[in-house]
Amino acid sequence: MDINDMLSLDIETYYDSKMNFMVGLCEQLNLAEVFNLSLEKSLGRKTDIPYGIMAEMMIVNICDNHYPLYLLNEYYKEKDLEGIFHSPIDLSQINDDRFGKFLDAFYAAGPRKIFGELSAQAFANYGIKVVNINYDTTSKVMWGTYETEELKQGVISIDFGHSKQKRQDKKQIKMGIGVANGVIVDAKVLSGNKDDKTYNSETLEDVKDVLERLNISTEDFHYIADSALFTAGNLKKAEIRNIKLITRMPETTTLAKESIREALDRRSQMREIEIQTSQGKVSKYYIIERDCTYEDTKLKCAVCYSVNLENIKKKTIVKQVIKEKEVLRKLSKTYIKTAFACEEDANKEILRLFKKDLKKVKYHNVSIQIIVTEKKKKGRQPTDTSKVEHIMEHFLQIEISEDEEKIQKNFEQACTFILCSNDLSLKAEDLLREYKTQIGVEKKFHQLKSPHFVNSLYLDTPERIEALTYLILISMMILSVAENVVRREMKAEDAIIIGPGGIKMKQPSLVAILGVFNTGIGVKVITVEGKKYRSLVRPISESHKKLLKYLGISECVFYWNE
């Protein structure tokens, strides 16, 4: 090549490896093909940018800085679009109208169905085994003003509801997810006013479809959820569908109160067990097993006393004792100054106090005495002192004292909870161990709410909000699969990778895995007579190689050449 040829070369260098990595994960799940087939079948037409590539472009954006639709063009400016998405794309094609119409098409094709197909593909590809699924919901605050068309079937309602983010003043949407071994296996976008009991009832109706899709046998499967699952209707529905449940019995039920009291009376008979968390921490419990019946449904129960809760509950109880004492002192000051005309009126007020104001006193002994005082009647007094009229006034003197026995009893009850299952073959220890996996759902919610994945949704219709939320859930599912597979393979090899900041990791989080690909892989793009040739600036690191090997992604994902 002579000097003139060399001068005509166009050479650029890009560092978009995190984007390439996400596309590699999508390709492992045949994501583009699934979207193309579903949306083209639904709408009967193709687009300039294939639907699957648009889905990948939005997922990459979601997993990075999550620019709103109207800024996608800016987000992808100065990126090697063809090299990242392995398809010819021009920056001028990227606009909010195109991607808004994509969200409409995604909604019309059935986003939950597409989520299910991709989830099944991921579990089959990576051989992820599922026995139990933990279900729960979370809410997402919406900052705009949204109106749902009246009587429009199937459209979520962006509405006020019980806010798990403590923002009762804002409308919201909700998301329900099912997690197995830290991997999202099922997801559903819900109206903002959907309550958890209804969500669990509806999910029980279609959980068998999820099990069939993932090839899970119902024989050993357990549906695990928090106390919102515990209703007579849900227990009966599970029995009819032959679904085994594990849940927490609400402490407000009469059965729970009786079971806790009975267990604490037999505290010496409770068995000590220890459960180790995934972080290596040990949780200590005392448990006792019992069989019971709730609304004609037989249950196996585990009454559990948590030693790890003691410090937290002790602080809570101390605050409650102080608060209750202050309330009683104010009441005492009020009544020592309040005069009653006769003893009968004073006694009536004492009865009223014990029935209402003092009914919920939990930590103190309260006694009330009537104090009688004599004073001269108001008005001009006669000169003859023997004729001076006197009246009797009655005051209530409230005495309060801490009841150590009550305080201790409430403290122990606060540290105690009941787990139950309609699977009568389970032992109390198994019930507790399985229910403790519910923490996996909470971790996904923390990640899901992180600004790293989604800050605001910036859309103007409930349909597009729902479609974009499903894309967010698909992104989380893909990354949770990657996290699970990487940790599984690293554990099998006792391997270590170097994460962001040079930190050695044995169990990298999904954020850390993305961070490994955030920098360090440069791609040189040489354009000759309009044709592009890509190659790595330098060989990738051992950590990159390990992660790609575990996930079945080729190095070529970074330097794709047509």
Output the pLDDT for position 3. Answer: 45
d(CA 306, CA 415): 6
Output the pLDDT for position 547. Answer: 96
For residue range 84-136, list pLDDT tens digits in order: 999 999 999 999 889 999 999 999 999 999 999 999 999 999 999 888 999 99
Output the pLDDT for position 511. Answer: 83
Output the pLDDT for position 552. Answer: 96
Output the pLDDT for position 279. Answer: 64
Q: 66 vs 257, which has greater pLDDT?
A: 257
For residue range 443-462, list pLDDT tens digits in order: 776 666 555 444 445 567 88
Q: Region of 60 please: left (phi>0), alpha (psi -120 to 50) or beta.
A: alpha
Structure tokens at 85: 């998405």
Residue 319 has pLDDT above 90, yes or no: yes
How many residues comprise the chain?
562
Confidence of residue 320 (pLDDT cuts 50, 70, 90): very high
Structure tokens at 504: 């050695």
**356 contacts: CB under 8 Å, gap ≥ 6:** none
State the average pLDDT over residues 283-304.
Answer: 95
d(CA 34, CA 32): 6
List the single range of 1-5, 69-73, 267-271, 311-315 with lowest mean pLDDT.
1-5
Residue 351 has pLDDT above 50, yes or no: yes
Residue 361 has pLDDT above 70, yes or no: yes
d(CA 422, CA 236): 10
**143 contacts: CB under 8 Å, gap ≥ 6:** 170, 456
Output the pLDDT for position 458. Answer: 58
Output the pLDDT for position 144. Answer: 45
How high does pLDDT run on average in the chain?
87
**458 contacts: CB under 8 Å, gap ≥ 6:** 68, 69, 70
For residue range 2-33, list pLDDT tens digits in order: 444 544 578 899 999 999 999 999 999 999 99
β-bridge partners, 526: 11, 533
Most confident option among 6-20, 128-142, 345-359, 375-389: 345-359
Query: How distant is the alpha carbon of residue 17 from its chain centre?
Result: 30
d(CA 375, CA 391): 6
Residue pair 273/304 in contact (Cβ under 8 Å)? The answer is: no
Query: How distant is the alpha carbon of residue 168 from its chain centre?
Result: 18
Structure tokens at 351: 């009865």
d(CA 109, CA 278): 39
List the single range of 386-390, 496-500, 533-537 with lowest mean pLDDT.
386-390
List the single range of 39-43, 77-81, 437-441, 494-498 with lowest mean pLDDT.
39-43
Residue 178 has pLDDT above 90, yes or no: yes
Query: To 10 degrees, the CA torsion angle through 413, 415, 421, 423?
Result: -110
Residue pair 261/274 in contact (Cβ under 8 Å)? The answer is: no
β-bridge partners, 534: 525
Output the pLDDT for position 146. Answer: 46
State the average pLDDT over residues 203-225.
Answer: 91
E-only strand ranges, 403-490: 416-421
Residue 163 has pLDDT above 80, yes or no: no
List the single range of 2-11, 74-83, 353-362, 402-411 with lowest mean pLDDT.
2-11
State the average pLDDT over residues 495-502.
Answer: 89
Confidence of residue 388 (pLDDT cuts 50, 70, 90): low
**535 contacts: CB under 8 Å, gap ≥ 6:** 523, 524, 526, 559
Residue 548 has pLDDT above 90, yes or no: yes
Residue pair 172/192 in contact (Cβ under 8 Å)? The answer is: yes
Output the pLDDT for position 71. Answer: 85
Residue pair 270/286 in contact (Cβ under 8 Å)? The answer is: yes
Output the pLDDT for position 383. Answer: 66
Output the pLDDT for position 450. Answer: 56
Residue 298 has pLDDT above 80, yes or no: yes
Output the pLDDT for position 162. Answer: 54
Residue 160 has pLDDT above 60, yes or no: no
Query: How distant is the alpha carbon of residue 351 from its chain centre?
Result: 47
Confidence of residue 172 (pLDDT cuts 50, 70, 90): confident
Residue 220 has pLDDT above 70, yes or no: yes
d(CA 36, CA 112): 16
Residue 83 has pLDDT above 50, yes or no: yes
- SS3 of residue 378 by DSSP: coil
Output the pLDDT for position 439. Answer: 81
Q: Distance between the two ends of the chain, CA-based, in angstroms?
A: 23
**337 contacts: CB under 8 Å, gap ≥ 6:** 395
- Residue from 418, 97, 392, 451 nearest 251 by CA: 418
Residue 430 has pLDDT above 70, yes or no: yes
Q: What is the CATH number of domain 113-309+415-449?
A: 3.90.350.10
For a pLDDT cut of 90, what percent of the chain falls above it?
Answer: 65
Count of beta carbons in the 10 Å neighbourhood of residue 480: 24
Confidence of residue 407 (pLDDT cuts 50, 70, 90): very high
For a pLDDT cut of 70, what percent of the chain falls above it?
Answer: 86
